[in-house]
Structure 1
Amino acid sequence: MTPEIPRNDIDILRRLAERKVTIANDPVNLERRQAWYRLDTGDAPRPMILAESAGVRDARRPAYEGPLQCQHPEARRLEHALQNEIWRFEHLRDDHVVEPVINVKWSVSASDYGVTSIQHQTDGAILGARSWDPP
């Protein structure tokens, strides 16, 4: 069982969530949302730009400044996601729309059902190709 999230972590996450809601209601963000809707109808007011950095940015060196402050592992993951989204709006300034919600992914695990799969990939690689030996 995961220990309870410390009060300080909750306070940090609340501040970041408040910043996210502020950004979601920012006129620039609202214009971006409308521009995407207009693009979908074929009436784009301008070319839309998304800078996808997930596959090229090193996960150990995030885009935002400073280290994570939360201590609890789940809180740190959420803090990381919020910091990235805030950084994207404030610094990258592409046409990504910040929504006033936080999407939390499901935690799912499965066994190997008694059949071990041997996988090969570069040591320490987070991204990249991998291969496996079929049983």
Structure 2
Amino acid sequence: MDNLTELYCHIDDFYQQFKPEFDAHLIATGRQRLRACQISVAEIMTILVLFHQLRYRQFKAFYYHHMLGMMKRELPNLPSYSRFIKLVPRSIIPLCSYLQSMMGDCTGISYIDSTKIAVCHNKRIYRH
């Protein structure tokens, strides 16, 4: 999925089906506040998937450079980096379910990378 809008629509469609089933399994104590935020869970999931698709190494650099810099027009209600990090746990279970649903079936053919990795100490040779 190359297009951000296409990716968001796909994730949002999944989340709209997932949310009622997920909410039915939650235990309601009446003590927890479900505070709304400016960014939806589907948008959080989209940002996390996009981070991996663009192959950034550091999430902080991705968020500041790509999301707050280039994508500010597409997502105008982005919170600050520290606030976004606090919102990520809300999306972990839906994100894992989405990724599980997107996995393909195993065909029985597996590829193994046998590239040697340099180690700094001989004790670590067999750990890689």
TM-score (norm 2): 0.24
Choose between structure 1 and 2: higher strand proportion: 1
- Structure number with higher helix proportion: 2
Q: TM-score, normalised by structure 1?
A: 0.23
